[in-house]
Structure 1
Amino acid sequence: MIDALPIVPASVAKAHAVQDRVAALLGEAIGGFKAGAPPDGEPTRGLIYERTIRSSPARMSPAEVPHLGVEGEIAFRFTRDLPATGAPYTREEVALAVTVLPAIEIVSGRYSNPRGRPNLEQLADCTINGGLVFGPETADWSHLDLPNLRITMLVNGATVHHKQGGHPTGDPLGAAVALANMLSDGVKAGHIVTTGSWTGMDFLKPGDRCVVRFEALGEAEVVFE
């Protein structure tokens, strides 16, 4: 781990460039993204390395993800390529190109105190993403009111979150649309995008088991051992 970058990136584009350069230097294959589309801000994305994306139930070592943060999220998997075309993809086009998955984003950074760094420095660190655990895919989800699904998070069998709705912008699909229109080379079939925490951020301990359950979608589970 490091304490900080020598220079804080001056823009979202520069923070994205740091992500890309680090992944290239490490030889990391990219399996997905975390995407943010704030209504009053610039869209962002964080790379998720392929080796850190795991199907539920999953195990992750505290040595891999020492900060042990968890967030309950809805993710989408692209079922076909959406290449960059010069014209933005519509919500309808993206909706027809994705399945839906319940997910746990694993939050763990490369800084000793990642949440204490400036936002652009966190973005350069893939928005302190440590991995992603995904549950079953739902292909036919057009009838679901995604922003208003009920979510439950359990840690070691005890309920720590239980509520209806909770996505930070109220529009999970909007983040997937933003990603499809953000990437210079488009998105590829098989890529996963996770779209923002419904539960805030909880930090667990070695040995803990976390389950995130979305109404109508199923659940994702991770054990830190």
Structure 2
Amino acid sequence: MPAKKRQDNIARVATEFVSARRSASALVDYPGTMPAALAEAYAMQDAAIALADRVIAGWKVGRINPPLEGADRLAGPIFADQTFDAGETPRAMTVYAGGFAAAEAEFLLRIGAAPDPAKTHYTLAEATALIDRVCVGIEIASSPFGGINDHGPGVTISDFGNNNGLVIGPDIADWRDLDLNQWPVELTIDGASTGIATAATMLDGPFGAARFLFELMAQRGIALTPGQWISTGAVSGVHQVEIGAQIAAIFDDRLMVACSIAAQ
């Protein structure tokens, strides 16, 4: 595709996704030509972030399986106005009616010290050292485009990585002394279990997701700041949900976080 046409397509995709999210309008078809490479997908995401003009409270990290262009994870922004502490009463989290909607049980890491913006390689220990808090949580994945997960990671990346919210649950005390990769994690929908899994099956675990994000953002030229959250990936899978569903995520039978699902 010629450079001018490519740039026009990037702008069109970003504009239409942002517009659809603002108006809560479903998109039957992808709003343009699908990205041919991850760099083009992130260019669409960057353009959409600029158009949305919203405060970013953190970043979601998801799996690319099988890997593409040497990448086995992807990232997208989590906006502050869709980031909530769980509280005592399950909060209603919104999804796009007619689009895609899912809930995911995830370990959440808070950045305690800003990564060096010029550093593009981290060891797992270096990445972990930049984290100051670990919580359990639920990521809400939703997009106006119902087929967002059906066309490869580039399409997912292009619409904010398919994120539409984050529920921050209880803190994990003494997390530096625990092997979180061995914790059984379960997501229930309306009281029915969707299965149990551990982060040991997720590449190099939650802190590996932080390492990936630090390296990716240095490459993209995006500064990460203390206090931002990293939603590290769906431990027990991506589970589609309906409006009105009641969601609970249970971690090692000791910590739980819950929410309900409502229309955007």
State the TM bucket, normalised to the shorter chain: 0.7 to 0.9
Task: Classify 1:177/1:139 alpha carbon distance in 2 versus 1 (closer, same or farther; 3 Å).
Answer: farther
Partner of 1:21: 47
Task: Classify 1:150/1:68 alpha carbon distance in 2 versus 1 (closer, same or farther; 3 Å).
Answer: same
Measured in 2, the distance between the counterparts of 1:27 and 1:181 equals: 24
Residue type at the aligned position of 1:169: L
1:59 aligned counterpart, secondary structure: strand
Task: Classify 1:58/1:116 alpha carbon distance in 2 versus 1 (closer, same or farther; 3 Å).
Answer: same
2:127 counterpart of 1:90: no
Task: Classify 1:110/1:166 alpha carbon distance in 2 versus 1 (closer, same or farther; 3 Å).
Answer: farther
2:155 aligned counterpart, secondary structure: helix
2:207 counterpart of 1:173: yes
Q: CA deviation at 1:88?
A: 2.7
Partner of 1:194: 231
Partner of 2:178: 144
Partner of 1:206: 243
Q: CA deviation at 1:164?
A: 4.5
Q: CA deviation at 1:167?
A: 4.1
Q: CA deviation at 1:166?
A: 5.7
- Larger deviation, residues 199-208 vs 59-68: 59-68
Residue type at the aligned position of 2:79: Y
Measured in 2, the distance between the counterparts of 1:132 and 1:198 equals: 15
Identical-residue share of aligned pairs (%): 25
Higher RCO (CA-CA < 8 Å; seq separation 6+): 1
Question: In the alignment, is the contact (CA less than 8 A) between 2:61 and 2:76 conserved in 1?
Answer: yes
Measured in 1, the distance between the counterparts of 2:224 and 2:237 equals: 27
Question: In the alignment, is the contact (CA less than 8 A) between 1:135 and 1:220 conserved in 2?
Answer: yes
Deviations 1:60-118 (A, max 9, x none): 23458953311111121112222313353332222122121112111111313222333
Partner of 2:156: 122
Measured in 2, the distance between the counterparts of 1:125 and 1:87 equals: 25
Question: In the alignment, is the contact (CA less than 8 A) between 1:167 and 1:196 conserved in 2?
Answer: no
Measured in 2, the distance between the counterparts of 1:143 and 1:65 equals: 44
Question: In the alignment, is the contact (CA less than 8 A) between 1:23 and 1:29 conserved in 2?
Answer: no
Q: Which has the higher helix share?
A: 2
Deviations 1:118-176 (A, max 9, x none): 33112211221221112122363122111111112222233332345564325221110
Q: How many residues align?
A: 225
Task: Classify 1:136/1:168 alpha carbon distance in 2 versus 1 (closer, same or farther; 3 Å).
Answer: same
For the pair shown, the structure with the greater C-alpha radius of gyration is 2
Partner of 2:142: 108
2:111 counterpart of 1:78: yes
**Structure 2 unaligned residues grouped into runs of 5+:** 1-25
Question: In the alignment, is the contact (CA less than 8 A) between 1:66 and 1:108 conserved in 2?
Answer: yes
